Structure 1
Amino acid sequence: MKMTTLQMKKKLDELFQREDWRVSFIRDKDVYRVEWKDTKQGVSIRIPNVIAKYEQRGEAALDELQFHVTESLKMMNQQHHLTGKEKHIFPVIRATSFPKKSKAGIKLVYTEHTAETNIYYALDLGSTYQLIDEKMLQEQGWTKDRLKEISLFNVRSLPIDSKKDTVAENDFYFVSPQDGYDASRILNESFLEEMKANAVGELVVAVPHQDVLIVADIKNETGYDIIAQMTMKFFAEGRVPITSLPFVYDEKKLEPVFILAKNRPKE
């Protein structure tokens, strides 16, 4: 028998019962909210989604939900310092449509990257990370240039292991260490330059979602179709989608590939 919304609400009431939290239920939207009483910052949970997961995985789904919601609320209520945490600051790639302000309405620090992407900056907290906002920068007396320089240094220090796949004579390399900064490795210029030096054809890179970087050595027309289809597929399946357009890397610049192989001019 399918669990009702009110039955799930009762379970969530038990999970999120704390003196410093307030819970509420927006009946017409089937949304359950947990927030800090003092700041009103919180997390909204869609009950139909929770019921679907619960019916698939049982109590384990609720344990996971409780962990992620608690971690998110803890993060909102902590004062994080950048000084002394320099080694834990990394850049993250996001779509240009990604919000420019935090949920609290404070401007996030970001740098324009390509026509499709922007670079945000994250303080790594272990099991999660917090995007850095302008208030944090001001409180620490940091400049945006310093933040950018430190984050790029750190991303260059991350290991890059790739899996290679050859299709129709084109070589595709998949970088996906699952550390939260997979796509960020597109900012490792020395890696891209090394790949460019070894490429037989045109070097194309893609960041369809946060958890993968694809680098391709495109040697023929078919290769452009493959990378375009592959990027679109990954983009549709990604947990944090970024862009469905791959980029040509040339002269240290990234240009979006708009033209599919069949429309490309013959050499």
Structure 2
Amino acid sequence: MDSKRMKSELEKRLSNSNRTFTYDRKKDELRIENKQSGKGITIALPGIIAKWEEKKDQAIDEVVYYVEQGLQAMENDLTMTGEEKRIFPVIRSTSFPIKTNEDIPFVFDEHTAETRIYYALDMEKTYRLIDQKILEKEGWDLERIREIAMFNVRSLPTSMKEDQVAGNTFYFLNRNDGYDASRILNESFLKKMESQLTGKMAVAVPHQDVLIIADIQNDTGYDVLAQMTMSFFASGRVPITALSFLYENGELEPIFILGKNRKK
């Protein structure tokens, strides 16, 4: 599968009389826009091709679903008043855009050196990131959004699966509700996990749909976590960061792991 074939397949699957397609050869990106509103979604083809090599047509199905739901959400009028229970924080990498394609700033907070906190209105099958234009229309401010979103993320279930490797225990939260990585913002949950672990606590959010917590007992644990995080990062639909974090005294500090040597 090359970019030409992938571009052709996506255009065929997403074809609609009300849409236009623009291909940026230099960036190897395909943009799909609504003709009337000019709103659209840009997708990087190399990442989709890499996933196609592993998942074949399932990778294309996922992208088509994501684009269809995203375009539909963009065309709906967004109302937050009365919908407070549907406002959640979402974690993104610091390389994620801070403005919409219409140059409207997103509402966000800084989080770590690797991540930012954006805010979204849940729309069942997808969600829409909240921007300054929506905020002004509703007459809200960032503090109100932040308080509501953080309250809501604490209400999300936190049951985890567990695996042990070389004396280290790894916990995985993967409910596929769009907010798995967002649980990293649930401070009471992190503190509860910390109290139950006997080794060093490490946390990872390689992509939107997984949160990993590790009970590190030895150097092998760091190596396993690094490999695991990189694997999840490469396969995620919305990658965040391949780095992990040490959790100490309520703080998240990125850790860099090289082979059997680790350094903060």
TM range (shorter): 0.7 to 0.9
- Between the aligned partners of 1:199 and 1:96, the Cα distance in structure 2 is 29
Shift of 1:37: 3.2
Question: Is the counterpart of residue 83 in structure 1 residue 81 in structure 2?
Answer: yes
Q: What's the counterpart of residue 248 of structure 1?
A: 246
Please give the secondary structure, in 2, of the residue aligned with 1:147: helix
Q: Equivalent residues in 2 for 1:1-267 (5 A)?
A: 12=12, 15-17=15-17, 21-23=18-20, 34-43=32-41, 68-260=66-258, 262-263=260-261
Q: TM-score, structure 2 length as denominator?
A: 0.82
Distance 2:220 2:60 in 1: 46
Provide, for residues 207-258 of structure 1, a one-character-per-residue CA deviation record: whole Å limited to 9, x for no partner.
0111100001111122111112211221122211111111111111000112
Q: What is the aligned-residue RMSD (CA, Å)? A: 3.3
Per-residue deviation, 1:25: 6.5
- So what's the TM-score if we normalise by structure 1? 0.81
CA distance 1:68–1:168, shift in 2 (3 Å): closer
Distance 1:238 1:153 in 2: 26
1:71-113 CA-to-partner distances (Å, cap 9, x unmatched) read 3332222220111110001101011111000122110011000
- Matches of 2:210 and 2:74, distance apart in 1: 27
CA distance in 2, matches of 1:31, 1:64: 17
CA shift at 1:142, angstroms? 0.9
Residue range with higher mean Cα deviation, 252-261 or 142-151: 252-261
Give me the whole-angstrom Cα distance separating, in 2, the residues matched to 1:61 and 1:237: 10
3-state secondary structure, aligned to 1:111: strand
Tell me the percent identity.
52
- Cα separation, partners in 2 of 1:222 and 1:111, compared to 1, 3 Å: same
Change (3 A) 1:16 1:177: same
Helix, strand or coil at the partner of 1:257: strand
Alignment size in residue pairs? 251
In the alignment, the residues of structure 2 paired with residue 224 and residue 27 of structure 1 have an alpha-carbon distance, to the nearest angstrom, of 39
Task: Indicate the larger mover: 122-131 or 251-260.
Answer: 251-260
- Cα distance in 2 between the residues matched to 1:45 and 1:228: 27
Larger Rg over CA atoms:
1
